Amino acid sequence: MSDETHLRELICEIGRRVWQRGMASANSGNISARLDEETILITPTLVSKGFMRPEQVLAVDLDGKVLRGEGHPTTETPMHLRVYRERADIGGVVHAHPPMATAFAVAGKPLDLHLIPEAVIFLGEVPLVPFRPPGSPELAEAVVPYLEDYDAVLLENHGALCWGSDVEQAYHRLETLEFCAAVTLYSQILGGARELPPEPKANLLALRRMMKGKGG
């Protein structure tokens, strides 16, 4: 099995996970993965992520030119490609509309509380990117300032965007993001989300910085 064949199948598998978990309704959401230095595999537009076939995934260059595949890549291609051009170490990007996280995005609230040790280590804070029209060059540029220090962002009135060293890590960050959003909301309903104590929180943040420094 070639690397491209495997990566196409993995993108479809992640699409099924996103759809099954209710994080992308109808044809929404998009997934991409870096095949090599010049080539990105990306999902097509107007296709449910739960029912994609490997041959529907398109190969594009970093300028968005379709190299292989039929149809049109997702309308969010400019945002994906801008991420890859900005950071050569990023190997996967996932954009979806998980309900809890999207609710925070619609409310204009970042996920910046440190509530759960695992979330602090593997995700950290999730800032809010000011609204720009979906699919626009303006949205692609708006994401850039967050790429160095974060692993995920909320897109105001839109959804969530996660990236990672590969597409599976990007998806796992999406799962963690939605879990954190749910815990934050439920704990607030119960009377208030209480952050971790200062010293353990500082230690966890230091561990996170160390792991990121090693490529985590």
Let me know if 76 is a catalytic residue: yes
Element spanning 120, H or E: helix 117-122
Q: Which of 76, 125, 156, 178 is catalytic?
A: 76
Q: Which two tokens stand for residue 198?
A: 């200062």
* pLDDT, position 214: 59
* pLDDT, position 126: 97
Please list the pLDDT of the chain residue by residue as tens digits (216 residues): 579 999 999 999 999 999 999 999 999 999 999 999 999 999 999 999 999 999 999 999 999 999 998 889 999 999 999 999 999 999 999 999 999 999 999 999 999 999 999 889 999 999 999 999 999 999 999 999 999 999 999 999 999 999 999 999 999 999 999 999 999 999 999 998 899 999 989 999 999 888 887 555
Under DSSP, the state recorded for 128 is: E
* pLDDT, position 215: 52
* pLDDT, position 213: 72
* pLDDT, position 158: 98
Q: Where are the beta strands (DSSP E) in the chain?
A: 30-36, 39-42, 58-61, 66-68, 92-96, 128-129, 152-155, 159-164
Residues 6+ apart with CB under 8 A from 116: 180, 183, 196
Q: Which two tokens stand for residue 54?
A: 């490997």
3-state secondary structure of 69: coil
Residue found under tokens 């993108």: 11
Write the single-letter amino acid at 206: A
